[in-house]
């Protein structure tokens, strides 16, 4: 039986790249996302390569998540890798200028959505046992603060700590958990964060060499295919051309 990867947020960015990479490696796929048309396009693209089961799903809806997991067809029920990728950043301005609804949306997606999917699939992953893997997509923002990261960074700090706590509780089950924390990567991420400002998105990635979605998908597959006795607790990945900056200091004129 083929190994099965359950990927959330599969319609773009890291999730779509993960679908392509895991399919190339011979995995069967459960692909989840909110955009039905994109899911259908991805399914058609991968149908000749591997078995694909698509689910139009908003991870914020716990009942819908539970129903989707319960309704998995037989060939997809034994999940070997959960890729908790669904997430977003909004409100790139300072906290005092942020819209409260944007904060709620980030919390509901990045925290509640991740918790919903993880809780629904834990019994399946534990049943799979040795080598089963949870990859939670965090961010360097969950560890390193920077202006404008407020709730987004806090939500990714939750991802990091939730991953660590899961490791503690899953000890002895054979299920592995990794917080995969990318740095700057060129995807639709910034376009979403800036409310569709293409110029702002282009400016962020121009004149440097950011990570690509494919780079991160490669790390996901690496983590999921390690020997069963190895667990990477946290993998922070930045492009060579990105590093940390000095502390900001407020000075008198």
> What is the per-residue pLDDT across 202-233, written as a single tens digit (0 to 9) for each?
888 899 999 999 999 999 999 999 999 999 99
pLDDT at position 190:
74
- For 78, the token pair is 């034994």
Greatest extent of the chain over all pairs of C-alpha atoms, in Å: 68
Catalogue all structural domains in the chain, each as residue range(s) with its CATH number.
Answer: 4-237 (3.40.50.720)
Q: How confident is the model at residue 187 (pLDDT cuts 50, 70, 90)?
A: confident
Percentage above 90 pLDDT, the chain: 91
Q: CB count, 10 Å around CB of 88?
A: 18
For the segment 141-155, the average pLDDT, to the nearest whole number, is 96
Phi-psi region of 193 (alpha: psi -120 to 50; beta: other; left: phi over 0): alpha
pLDDT reading at 195 higher than 80: no
Q: What is the pLDDT, as a whole number, of residue 164?
A: 98
Paired tokens of 195: 């409310």
How much is the pLDDT for 220? 98
pLDDT (0 to 100) of residue 204: 82
Summarize pLDDT for 172-186 with one digit per residue, the tens: 999 999 999 999 999
Does the pLDDT of residue 128 top 80, yes or no? yes
Q: Which two tokens stand for residue 82?
A: 């959960």
What mean pLDDT is reported for the chain?
Answer: 95
Nearest to 138 by CA among 81, 178, 98: 178
Per-residue pLDDT tens digits for 76-111: 999 999 999 999 999 888 999 999 999 999 999 999
State the pLDDT at residue 158: 98
pLDDT at 194 exceeding the cut of 80: no
Residues forming the active site:
152
**Can you tell me whether residue 101 is helix, strand or coil?**
helix
Q: 162 to each of 60, 67, 132, 167, 197, how far by Cα in Å?
A: 17, 23, 17, 9, 32
């Amino acid at each position: 039986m083929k190994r099965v990867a359950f990927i959330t947020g599969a319609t773009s960015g890291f999730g779509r790249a993960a679908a392509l990479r895991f399919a190339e490696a011979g995995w069967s796929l459960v692909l989840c996302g909110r955009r039905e048309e994109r899911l259908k396009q991805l399914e058609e693209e991968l149908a000749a390569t591997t078995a694909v089961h698509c689910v139009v799903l908003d991870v914020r809806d716990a009942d819908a998540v539970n129903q989707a997991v319960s309704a998995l067809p037989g060939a997809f029920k034994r999940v070997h890798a959960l890729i908790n990728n669904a997430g977003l950043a909004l409100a790139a301005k300072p906290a005092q200028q942020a819209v409260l609804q944007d904060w709620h949306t980030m919390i509901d997606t990045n925290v509640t959505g991740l918790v919903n999917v993880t809780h629904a699939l834990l019994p399946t992953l534990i049943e799979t046992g040795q080598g089963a893997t949870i990859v939670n997509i965090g961010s360097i923002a969950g560890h390193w603060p920077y202006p404008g990261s407020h709730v987004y960074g806090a939500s990714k700090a939750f991802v990091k700590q939730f991953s660590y706590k899961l490791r503690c509780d899953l000890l002895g089950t054979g299920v592995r958990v990794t917080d995969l924390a990318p740095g700057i990567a060129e995807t639709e991420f910034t376009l979403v964060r800036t409310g569709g400002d293409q110029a702002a998105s282009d400016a962020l990635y121009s004149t440097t060499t950011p990570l690509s979605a494919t780079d991160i998908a490669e790390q996901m597959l690496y983590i999921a295919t390690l020997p069963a006795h190895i667990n990477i607790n946290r993998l922070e990945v930045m492009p060579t051309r990105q590093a940390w900056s000095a502390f900001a200091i407020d000075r008198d004129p």
